[in-house]
């Protein structure tokens, strides 16, 4: 039994996620403050998220072939250079929107496989640590939320202090730290067979094998449909609706970062509780209630111009509830996928869950341009409410409670 790889993964995730959260605040604020355009802000967000989703989906066979560790180190190392271009070009007075677009595109291409590789390490690291899968996914979820909180809170302060472009220099350093940690402290977890075929045709067969397994599992399909839709609406909320609300209300990036930090900070508590009692929770009930609490109420409080105290309280409740979601979803996912397919199926699942995110910011910007922020917030919130009622209407979600260990099952 070894806890060292788990600690290393926790550190790497903390560094990369906190840096990503920082860029998630800095880049939209940079575009919005320099152009004043919600649509352009959404377009830049799409230019990062679309390649992220595609690269994550296509990277699965490579993770299974050459191992998640190598993919994570390569992609995080390349991200240091890519993200670092933004503050350098800004110092040289060369940073424009046409130049920023390909940079954020490259950021998405590199982040996708890196995130998928780290996620696919979880089952093996749980075995090395000899702890229940729900506990590991809960701890990882708490780490993700903690990193998001630190990144969001730090983003507001850094942007106010040095500006949004220069704040991204810290993002480059976090990727460097993640790459070094994975390279030095996590062992090679899975090795491809020496007899394994190579080439484009074999790659295509491996990708198709993962797709066939995923689409035949009704539980995983139900997860993908629901989470993809809520992710679309979350992206509109966080990348455009709330930055525009913050600016229109006369506040600055410090408040924007604080709003994100309150939501993420409360979710740490939820994820920590999920880690402690996850194996005893009624999964479907907790999942459904958590989604109802984390969704519509936060759209409503911004739509009706609530006092800041009520906004913070609503975000805290929603954040706490959201902390239970990823541990449940991750445990269900890992239980149902055989290890030889882990990289490609988890990558495809994550990519499909994120498939609509690239259009979330664009949709949010278009709604604001068409009907104004006061209409965009309740419309998006009502759509979120409708989606989160799905577990009550569709029988596929009942498979949450059934633990289907698929270690030795391969799709055909």
Confidence at residue 2, expressed as pLDDT on a 0 to 100 scale: 66
For 241-265, the pLDDT digits (tens) are 998 999 888 887 778 878 988 898 8
The predicted model scores a pTM of: 0.74
Measured over the CA atoms of residue 258, residue 259, residue 265 and residue 268, the dihedral's sign is negative
* Nearest CA-CA partner of 83 in 160, 35, 42, 26: 26
Burial class (CB in 10 A: 0-12, 13-18, 19+), 389: middle
Using CA atoms, how far apart are residues 343 and 321, in angstroms rounded to an integer?
28
Confidence at residue 105, expressed as pLDDT on a 0 to 100 scale: 94
Using CA atoms, how far apart are residues 73 and 95, in angstroms rounded to an integer?
28
In the chain, what percentage of residues exceed pLDDT 70? 92
DSSP category for residue 6: H
Decide: helix, strand or coil at residue 39: helix
DSSP category for residue 93: T
Measured over the CA atoms of residue 352, residue 66, residue 210 and residue 405, the dihedral's sign is negative
Using CA atoms, how far apart are residues 270 and 313, in angstroms rounded to an integer?
15
Mean pLDDT of 269-282: 81
Mean pLDDT of 45-60: 85
Using CA atoms, how far apart are residues 113 and 141, in angstroms rounded to an integer?
19
Position 402 pLDDT exceeds 80: no
Using CA atoms, how far apart are residues 208 and 201, in angstroms rounded to an integer?
11
For 124-171, the pLDDT digits (tens) are 888 887 777 777 777 777 777 677 667 767 777 788 788 888 888 888
**Which of 34-43, 215-224, 288-297 has the lowest average pLDDT?**
34-43
Place of tokens 């604080």: 258
Cβ-contact 250, 308 below 8 angstroms: no
Mean pLDDT of 80-99: 90
Confidence at residue 70, expressed as pLDDT on a 0 to 100 scale: 92
- CA distance to 88, 194, 197, 198, 351, per residue, from 204 (Å): 39, 18, 11, 10, 17
């Amino acid at each position: 039994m070894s806890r060292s790889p788990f600690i290393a993964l926790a550190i790497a995730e903390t560094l990369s996620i906190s840096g990503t959260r920082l860029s998630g605040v800095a880049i939209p604020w940079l575009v919005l403050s320099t152009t004043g355009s919600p649509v352009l802000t959404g377009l830049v967000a799409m230019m990062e998220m679309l390649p992220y989703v595609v690269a994550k989906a296509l990277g699965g066979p490579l993770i299974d072939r050459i191992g998640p560790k190598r993919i994570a180190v390569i992609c995080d190392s390349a991200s240091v250079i890519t993200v670092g271009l933004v503050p350098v070009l800004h110092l040289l007075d060369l940073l424009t929107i046409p130049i920023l677009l390909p940079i954020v595109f490259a950021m998405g291409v590199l982040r996708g496989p890196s995130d998928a590789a780290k996620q696919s390490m979880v089952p093996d690291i749980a075995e090395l640590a000899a702890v229940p899968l729900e506990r590991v996914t809960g701890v990882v979820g708490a780490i993700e939320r903690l990193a998001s909180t630190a990144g969001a809170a730090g983003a507001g302060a850094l942007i106010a202090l040095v500006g949004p472009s220069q704040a991204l220099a810290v993002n480059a350093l976090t990727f460097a730290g993640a790459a070094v940690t994975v390279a030095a402290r996590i062992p090679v977890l899975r090795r491809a067979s020496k007899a394994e075929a190579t080439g484009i045709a074999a790659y295509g067969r491996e990708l198709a094998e993962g797709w066939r397994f995923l689409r035949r599992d009704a539980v995983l399909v139900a997860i993908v449909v629901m989470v993809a839709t809520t992710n679309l609406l979350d992206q509109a909320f966080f990348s455009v609706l709330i930055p525009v609300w913050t600016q229109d209300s006369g506040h600055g990036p410090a408040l924007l970062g604080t709003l994100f930090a309150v939501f993420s900070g409360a979710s740490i508590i939820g994820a920590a509780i999920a880690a402690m009692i996850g194996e005893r929770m009624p999964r479907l009930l907790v999942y459904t209630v958590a989604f109802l609490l984390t969704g519509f109420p936060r759209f409503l409080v911004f739509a009706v111009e609530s006092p800041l105290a009520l906004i913070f309280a609503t975000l805290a409740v929603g954040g706490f509830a959201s902390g239970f979601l990823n541990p449940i979803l991750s445990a269900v996912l890992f239980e149902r996928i055989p290890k030889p397919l882990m990289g490609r199926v988890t990558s495809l699942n994550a990519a499909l869950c994120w498939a609509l995110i690239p259009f979330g910011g664009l949709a949010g910007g278009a709604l604001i341009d068409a009907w104004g922020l006061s209409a965009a917030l309740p419309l998006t919130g009502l759509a979120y409410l409708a989606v989160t009622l799905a577990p009550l209407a569709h029988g596929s979600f009942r498979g949450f409670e059934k633990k289907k260990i698929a270690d030795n099952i391969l799709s055909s």
